[in-house]
Structures are given as C-alpha cells and as structure tokens.
C-alpha cells in the first residue's frame, strides 16, 4: 500500500477562512482571505512582539477547535483510506496535538495512525523564521509516495526528493505561473480523487 502524506490546514481544515473570522473578532482588524499569510507578523502588519502576543491570545482561545472541514475532504479521505496508508504532516505546533486529534475524530471516520507535528513554531527561537521552514525531511521520514499540501515550499521540497506532489487549492498564497515538474495542482478534493484515479 502506498503512503499518502496529507497536510491539515487548508487541505483538510478550512483554516484560513475560519482563522480570519476569529482573528478579526479578537483584534478588531479587517483582514480578508487575500491577506492571509502563514507569516502572521506580515499578515497583521505588526512587530514581532505584538505578533507573539496575538498568537498567545489565539492559543488561549483554542481557535482551531471551531475550524470547518474543507468541502469534500471527509468523503475523499474515506475513499483514499481504502487504497492508501494515510499519514498527516502538519506545521501545527506540538501543543496543538490533543486539540487536533479531537478535531479529526469529530469530523473524520478514518483513523489516522501517524500524525507528524513539524514543530516549526514550537519555541521562541524557532518561531521567528518558522514560516521559512519546510517539511521535506518529514515527508521522507514518513515514507511518503505522494504528498498533498497547499504550500508551494512544501511541495517543492517534496519533489526535490523525488516525491510526487499535489498542490492543493487555488489560494492567494499558492499562486504560481509555472509549477515544477512533479507538482500537479488540484483545486479541490474532486480533482484530487480524479488525479489519483480513485473510483
């Protein structure tokens, strides 16, 4: 059975849409989906200290708990789970593990055996350039044959190690004039199912 490494945020969870609503409410901003950026400091237009403070406020509010699944993700995972070994590789910090597992249980029937938390933001030293890190080594470690991720940098890191990659979604942050050979964009789960030739 081949191994499919799947991302969580903006692939299984409609994170950006949900995040913006929650963030605007907490901080009184008017950020839209086209402003969304994994580099929170840039997205909020604040200094590093303020970005850290806001991240703490968000965490205290357990903001990821109320994310909705991406349209079609639940059905697609059920189908894919019959033909692939599915592992999750997420940039979420280790402390979000319990919340993430509960969220997955709440929305998905599939029992994800392996969930890797990249830890790009796990401590203050890392958090400053967490957005620059990629999952390349982690994909290799979990033995991924195929990767599904919405971030170009992770897809590019995967194809560099010879892993076939699906760039998920048509988002403001993953626009590209040209994709590296080995990367195929699928704008939604229907396209993923077609691309992987699942019945």
Nearer of residues 50 and 171 to Mg ion, judged by Cβ: 171
- Quote the least distance from Cβ 79 to Mg ion, whole Å: 21
Q: Is 38 in the site for Mg ion (CB under 5 A)?
A: no
- Quote the least distance from Cβ 47 to Mg ion, whole Å: 25
- Quote the least distance from Cβ 5 to Mg ion, whole Å: 12
- Distance from C-alpha of 107 to C-alpha of 7, rounded to nearest angstrom: 15
- Helices (H) and strands (E) in the chain — how many of each? 9, 6
Q: Is 9 in the site for Mg ion (CB under 5 A)?
A: yes
Among positions 51, 73, 150, 158, the unique one binding Mg ion when judged by CB under 5 A: 150
Q: Is 7 in the site for Mg ion (CB under 5 A)?
A: yes
- Quote the least distance from Cβ 50 to Mg ion, whole Å: 24
| Residues 61, 20 contacting (CB under 8 angstroms) | no
Region of 45 please: left (phi>0), alpha (psi -120 to 50) or beta: left
- Quote the least distance from Cβ 199 to Mg ion, whole Å: 27
Name the closest residue to Mg ion (Cβ): 9
Nearer of residues 7 and 156 to Mg ion, judged by Cβ: 7
Cα dist from 153 to 50, 144, 159, 160, whole Å: 26, 16, 10, 11
| Residues 112, 87 contacting (CB under 8 angstroms) | yes
The strand pair at 164-168 and 114-117 is best described as unpaired
Among positions 10, 100, 165, 174, the unique one binding Mg ion when judged by CB under 5 A: 10
Binding site for Mg ion (CB under 5 A): 7, 9-10, 150
């Amino acid at each position: 059975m081949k191994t499919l490494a799947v991302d969580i945020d903006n692939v299984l969870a409609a994170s950006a849409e949900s995040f913006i609503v929650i963030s605007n409410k907490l901080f009184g901003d008017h950020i839209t989906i086209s402003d969304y950026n994994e580099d929170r400091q840039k997205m909020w237009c604040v200094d590093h200290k303020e970005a850290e403070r806001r991240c703490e406020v968000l965490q205290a509010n357990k903001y990821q708990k109320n994310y909705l699944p991406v349209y079609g993700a639940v059905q697609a995972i059920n189908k894919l789970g019959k033909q692939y070994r599915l592992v999750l590789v997420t940039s979420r910090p280790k402390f979000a593990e319990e919340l993430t597992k509960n969220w997955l249980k709440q929305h998905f029937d599939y029992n994800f055996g392996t969930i890797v938390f990249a830890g790009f933001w796990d401590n203050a030293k890392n958090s400053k350039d967490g957005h620059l890190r990629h999952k390349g080594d982690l994909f290799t470690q979990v033995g991924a044959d195929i990767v599904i991720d919405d971030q170009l940098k992770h897809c590019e890191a995967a194809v560099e190690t010879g892993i076939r990659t699906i760039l998920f979604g048509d988002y403001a942050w993953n626009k590209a004039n040209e994709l590296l050979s080995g990367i195929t964009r699928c704008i939604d789960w229907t396209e993923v199912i077609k691309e992987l030739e699942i019945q």
